Amino acid sequence: MTEENQPWTARFRPKTLVELVGNERAVRQLETWVRSWEKGVPKQRAVFLYGPPGVGKTVSVLALANKLGYDVMEVNSSDYRTRKNLDSLIGRSIHQRFTITGRRRMILFDELEGVSGREDYGGIGAIAGIIKATEIPVVLIATSIRERWEDKFRPLRDISLHIKYNPVPFSQILMRLKVIVEELGISVDEEVLELLADLSEGDLRSTINDLEAVARGKTRVTMEDTQNLAQRDRKDYTPDALAKMFSAKTLRDARRVVSSAHISYDDLYNWIYENLPIVLDNPLDLVEGMNALARADIHQTRARRTQSYRLLKYMFNEMTGGVALARRNSEGLGLVKMARQKIAEQGFPPRDFTITETPDGVMIKPNRYLKNDWRRVNEAVRSMGAVWVRRGGCWNLPYFRSPQQVWRYRRTWQSRRRRRSLAARVAEKCHVSSHEAVAEVIPLLKVIFEEDPFMAGDIAGWLGLEDGEVKWLKT
């Protein structure tokens, strides 16, 4: 298969550490562990890489092996589930440090979540036995390990070094997409790339698949080309947990959300904070609920500072029961009214949109082609927590929206990048710090660029500004 005919995830798969995107700290930890084998067999003979799919776990192992001169024996654990199969596949290779060509050996167990503890006739136990006896590095990879380690991984957990891989940041995914389209010679609207990066949820591999779906065979891609992409199937238990918590009548019922949300306590706190004004629409209820959250934050901070983790139980009580029991006079979740108000604020008549309730939330569907208005409407409804459903050609405003702080940072990322670039130029020319440039000089420049085009032109030439920086100063 020629390079042009390859799937883009394979064509643009990183082959060196320089090409990797995100998780720099995890990769450094992995490299340190692999290099430790040069001094002999380390105390921890296996490393366990875990995290969501598409964030570079496998490719970082292969790129590092290529850099350090290792031959990797890849084992798809879902295909080799029994002790007998593993023994026949690996054999004595765990005692042979070098191949016949003089390269070092490494074993990679990928997709480890495909192995069961009991049903697969001791597959996990067999892998644990290999780790205890190995004289070569063993790398384990799984995507299903979170805060609560599954019981089936316990034999591996206790004898491995754990390295967590996080979702790839929005800005790094966006930059990678720009590199790919530039190499392909395709003109893709900036808002298309931002949409793909925003919908990625940190999964770079699936984002490249989405890009290929809308761009393969084309020389120009616009927002209209994204309409038919299928929404990714991602399970999310948090809204269900929040629904149970906000409807709880007792502290005990509200506390159950802590174990049913399947997210960290910090994330759960942010979810509750984000949705509190929507559910507690009565001012007195909202004040009481916010006070409960504030007390929860105090208990958590004190627990971390003093390491008195028994205080966390008070945090859980306040952030769940304290909030739920504050709901006395609130009707809550008037999302249809909120959505119509938001659309009206953008200057659109009611006939331009259909806004109705569905089992998954409130659907906001444009009744006409929005053209250049799409981005403005998208930003407005996204500020409420809505998500664009590409197959349906509409936005879905869930009954419980995810924390919007990260999205707000993503929304302003381009503007903040322009400001940093401009501040560096101003600091160099004016012999001031970047902080002074942002606080004192740039506000003055914005006034000049808005009011005096002739002086603005002279300043732009003196500073050597790019077109994007000039445009940013004028807005």
Give residue-wise pLDDT tens across range 244-280.
Answer: 788 788 888 787 776 556 566 777 888 888 888 888 8
One domain for residues 320 and 347: no
> Who has greater pLDDT, 113 or 207?
207
Residue partners of 427: CB distance under 8 A and separation at least 6: 433, 434, 436, 437
226 contacts 383 by C-beta, under 8 angstroms:
no
**Most confident option among 44-58, 102-116, 286-300, 383-397:** 286-300
Global pTM reads 0.52
Which value, in Å, is the radius of gyration of the alpha carbons in the chain? 27
Domain edge (last residue) among 164, 187, 218: 164
* Same domain, residue pair 317 and 343: no
* Same domain assignment for residues 34 and 125: yes
pLDDT of residue 294: 93
Task: Indicate whether 28 and 152 sit together in one domain.
Answer: yes
Is 170 within the bounds of a domain?
no
What tokens does 416 get? 């903040």
Cα–Cα distance, 145 to 159 (Å, whole number):
16
Average pLDDT, the chain: 79
One domain for residues 392 and 418 = no
pLDDT(466) > 60: yes
Strand-pair category, 46-50 with 160-164: parallel
- Residue 335 pLDDT level (bands cut at 50, 70, 90): confident
Domain final residue pick, 404, 428, 447:
404
pLDDT value of residue 234: 40
Please list, in sequence order, all residues whose beta carbon lies within 8 angstroms of the beta carbon of residue 62, skipping any fewer than 6 positions away: 15, 72
In a domain, 280, yes or no: yes
Pair (41, 134) in one structural domain:
yes
Q: What percent of the chain has pLDDT over 70?
A: 83
Work out the average pLDDT over 86-105: 75
The token pair that represents 293 in the structure block:
């959250």
We report the CATH number of the domain holding residue 349 as 3.30.1360
- pLDDT, tens only, 402-421: 776 655 566 666 777 788 88
| Number of compact structural domains in the chain | 4
Beta-strand ranges (E) seen in 213-311 are 220-221
Structural domain including 424 reads: 412-474
3-state DSSP assignment of residue 173: helix
- Asked which of 116-120, 198-202, 355-359, 434-438 is least confident by mean pLDDT, the reply is 116-120
Whether residues 160 and 27 fall in one domain: yes
Interval 29-48 mean pLDDT: 88
What distance in Å separates the CA atoms of residue 201 and residue 195, rounded to the nearest whole number?
Answer: 11
Residue 46: what pLDDT?
Answer: 87
